[in-house]
Chain A
Amino acid sequence: MSLLEIRNLSVDFATSSGQFRAVDGVDVTVDEGDLLAIVGESGSGKSVSMLALMGLLPWTATVTADKMEFDGHDLRRLSGRARRRIIGRDISMIFQEPMSSLNPAFTVGWQIKESLRKHTSLSRSQRQDRAVELMRQVGIPAPEKRLSAYPHQLSGGMSQRAMIAIALACRPKLLIADEPTTALDVTIQAQILELLTGLQEDTGMAMVLITHDMGVVAETVERVQVQYAGQRVELQEVQGLFDDPHHPYTAALLAALPERATERKLPTIPGVVPGQFDRPAGCLFSPRCQFADARCKAERPVPAGPAMGHALCHYPLSHGHPTGKETAA
């Protein structure tokens, strides 16, 4: 059985100009010890789908799903109180901006121990010991001293390490890392990613890494889920995805990587992600897709089979060429 299974998740936001669909029928499956990346550009609903899982969306959001199960709990039916017993203990999340994600009014130690006090039955001195252990685990030097530091006394990298320590406090089964390195320096990014994958290996927890950086994906994860405009467009093993992307969007993303560029000029994806008022009737990627035809613009595609990376496309690519197109058309 999967640790996390989400079927047909949709999230709508009530805005002053009507409903806005941020996540559109997304499936997410994470097994125990799994390492999944969710990739997509800004506004593709990566973060929102995970925030929906955590129950952290504002009240303007409506979340619907056919299935949302974590570790045997149906998250759709849980009361707020019951959900809060799982959130922060079995599922943890770290965020994009480490500096502003820590509360400036409390010491780092207080913020780590708060989770322990809430979710475990450790005594005061055991909590202290565990906090020191966690700080050491995430590679913060002089942990005893740093526990009494305030967030403004830490650098960005140290803050993210402290956030990871908070997230790991209760030995979660699933860690969601929402663009954990976007706000950091490049050298620090590598360190944090290394730390995260190392911890994931040591503890055996599952991890979902949300990112828009394909380079990060190639180095760290096992499976990749590509999202576009709130939909899942492809799901593949990382090696297969880089070798043979099945969705034109994935292919275009990979072609835009400087490391993979073959021509003198770096290829780009023309156009922008559709917004609230210009969602196409058919395939959402069709206005920007080089292979799109009349059918793509009119009909919504259904996901292809696992062999074709569940590609949400009428003509999934195979080694760069669309398949299933009638030759006459």
Chain B
Amino acid sequence: MLSFFIRRLGTFVPTFIGVTVVAFAFIRLLPGDPILLLAGERGVSAERYEMLQEQLGFNQPIWKQYIDYVAGIFQGDLGTSFVTKRPVLDEFMALFPATVELSLCAIILATIIGIPAGVIAAVNRGKFFDQALMSTALVGYSMPIFWWALLLIIVFSGNLGWTPVSGRIGLMYFFDTPTGFMLIDSLLSGQPGAFRSAAAHLILPTVALATIPLAVIARQTRSAMLEVLGEDYVRTARAKGMSPLRVNGIHALRNAMIPVITVIGLSVGTLLAGAILTETIFSWPGIGKWMVDSIFRRDYQVVQGGLLLIALVVMIVNLIVDLLYGLFNPKIRKG
């Protein structure tokens, strides 16, 4: 397992170098002069232009710029926001927990419903439950997420008044946020009702965000299970007198998990990269919203740094997924 981990880590390094090149090239490949774009319609004086060039390092040769940039990364310097004047890394770290909290809740919800649903559908192939579930999954997958989110708000916040409309916590609560995760911080604060409020704020965005991964996971689980259920070792398990729950849930599911883990991993990667629509609709202060805002503000340092950090997060998620493959398939582990 250790050598598998090390070998896998070996592929991590070239990928990371590739990402730095892309993030670096991105800002320089955009049409037009970034400084002029930054200055906007009012334009910029010649001295100010040179000062900015100096400040941003654009007067240096391109290889020098790249080396400075990579050296900066290793010192934790990902640039400074033009708008807020705060380091990009600080901004990211302040907002990332909100995204992680929402993404994890969504992916957990999608997994704990999606996998059992897919298994039950596969076992009852062609029967009512299977057909009902697969049709629902298709609807869930094809629904525009902004429309679905708005619908949820209208029904559950507007008509029924069960949940708050947006934000992460009620306005009457104030406490420190040492972890950045509102569910944990609200518990730590000890304020009565704070946790309830945080949880209530999470429900609708979680449901909205979980819908597509849920549909994908359920469908993938079903098709992987259908393949595995015809295998000889499933018959062996039944010949041993194992209960259907054990045959389907342990003998078959364990072998069906590889493609399911893959789609879960891909979903986690996408969600952590920022659920732009969901975060925007629910005013959720996460990195998806932050990236979009930065693009509109032409805050290139933020876009460049954010891009790199998001890519890094996705790479780490993929690394974890690969390690999980080894856990579920001994052949890969030894491979």
A sample of 8 cross-chain residue pairs with beta-carbon separation below 8 angstroms, ordered by A number, consists of A81-B243, A83-B241, A92-B240, A95-B236, A95-B239, A100-B231, A101-B236, A118-B242
A114 at interface by CB-CB < 8 Å: yes
* B213-246 interface (Cβ within 8 A of A): 231-233, 235-244
Q: Mark A111-126, 1 if CB is under 8 A from B, else 0.
A: 0001100110000000
Contact A86 B241 (CB under 8 A): yes
Contact A104 B241 (CB under 8 A): no
Q: Given contacts A95-B235, A105-B330, list 17 more A-B pairs with CB under 8 A.
A: A55-B238, A56-B235, A87-B238, A88-B242, A92-B239, A97-B232, A100-B231, A101-B235, A103-B251, A103-B254, A104-B233, A105-B255, A114-B242, A118-B242, A119-B241, A152-B330, A166-B240
A319 at interface by CB-CB < 8 Å: no
Q: Mark A200-215, 1 if CB is under 8 A from B, else 0.
A: 0000000000000000
B42 at interface by CB-CB < 8 Å: no
B329 at interface by CB-CB < 8 Å: yes
Knowing A95-B235, A163-B236 are in contact, say whether A104-B330 is a contact too (CB < 8 A). Answer: yes
* A20-64 interface (Cβ within 8 A of B): 54-56
Contact B330 A87 (CB under 8 A): no
User: Which listed residue (A54, A101, A115, A153) contacts B233, Cβ 8 A?
Assistant: A101
Most buried by B among A83, A89, A100: A100
**CB within 8 Å of B: which residues of A?**
54-56, 80-81, 83-89, 92-93, 95, 97, 100-106, 114-115, 118-119, 150, 152-153, 163, 166
**B236 surroundings in chain A (CB, below 8 A):** 95, 101-103, 163, 166
B221 to chain A, nearest CB (A): 16
Cα distance, A101 to B236, chains bound together (Å): 6
Contact A95 B232 (CB under 8 A): yes
Contact B242 A84 (CB under 8 A): yes
User: Which listed residue (B233, B243, B244) contacts A103, Cβ 8 A?
Assistant: B233
Contact B331 A115 (CB under 8 A): no
B323 to chain A, nearest CB (A): 16
Cα distance, A153 to B232, chains bound together (Å): 18
User: Which listed residue (B235, B240, B328) contacts A114, Cβ 8 A?
Assistant: B240
Knowing A101-B233, A102-B233 are in contact, say whether A56-B331 is a contact too (CB < 8 A). Answer: no
Chain B interface, number of residues (Cβ within 8 angstroms): 21
Knowing A100-B231, A100-B232 are in contact, say whether A105-B329 is a contact too (CB < 8 A). Answer: yes
Most buried by A among B233, B235, B334: B233
B62 to chain A, nearest CB (A): 50
Contact A84 B243 (CB under 8 A): yes
* B41-57 interface (Cβ within 8 A of A): none
* B151-199 interface (Cβ within 8 A of A): none
Contact B241 A105 (CB under 8 A): no
Cα distance, A115 to B255, chains bound together (Å): 19
**A119 surroundings in chain B (CB, below 8 A):** 241
Contact B239 A88 (CB under 8 A): yes
**B251 surroundings in chain A (CB, below 8 A):** 103
Closest residue of B by beta carbon distance from A81: B243
Cα distance, A115 to B231, chains bound together (Å): 19
Knowing A104-B330, A105-B255, A105-B330 are in contact, say whether A88-B241 is a contact too (CB < 8 A). Answer: yes
Most buried by A among B235, B236, B242: B236
B236 to chain A, nearest CB (A): 5
Cα distance, A119 to B239, chains bound together (Å): 13
Closest residue of A by beta carbon distance from B331: A152
B80 to chain A, nearest CB (A): 50
**A106 surroundings in chain B (CB, below 8 A):** 254
* B308-335 interface (Cβ within 8 A of A): 328-331, 334
**B232 surroundings in chain A (CB, below 8 A):** 95, 97, 100-101
Cα distance, A92 to B236, chains bound together (Å): 10
Closest residue of B by beta carbon distance from A51: B235
**B331 surroundings in chain A (CB, below 8 A):** 104, 150, 152
A256 to chain B, nearest CB (A): 30
Contact B238 A56 (CB under 8 A): yes
Contact B254 A105 (CB under 8 A): yes
Most buried by A among B235, B243, B329: B235
Cα distance, A326 to B83, chains bound together (Å): 110
**B328 surroundings in chain A (CB, below 8 A):** 105
User: Which listed residue (A103, A118, A153, A163) contacts B241, Cβ 8 A?
Assistant: A118
Contact B237 A103 (CB under 8 A): yes
Contact B233 A118 (CB under 8 A): no
A173 to chain B, nearest CB (A): 14
Closest residue of B by beta carbon distance from A107: B330
Cα distance, A166 to B242, chains bound together (Å): 13
Contact A87 B255 (CB under 8 A): no
**A55 surroundings in chain B (CB, below 8 A):** 238
Closest residue of B by beta carbon distance from A89: B241
**A150 surroundings in chain B (CB, below 8 A):** 330-331, 334
**A93 surroundings in chain B (CB, below 8 A):** 239
User: Which listed residue (B239, B244, B254) contacts A87, Cβ 8 A?
Assistant: B239
**B254 surroundings in chain A (CB, below 8 A):** 103, 105-106
Cα distance, A84 to B243, chains bound together (Å): 7
Cα distance, A92 to B232, chains bound together (Å): 15
Most buried by B among A84, A104, A105, A118: A105
**A83 surroundings in chain B (CB, below 8 A):** 241
Contact B255 A104 (CB under 8 A): yes
**B244 surroundings in chain A (CB, below 8 A):** 80
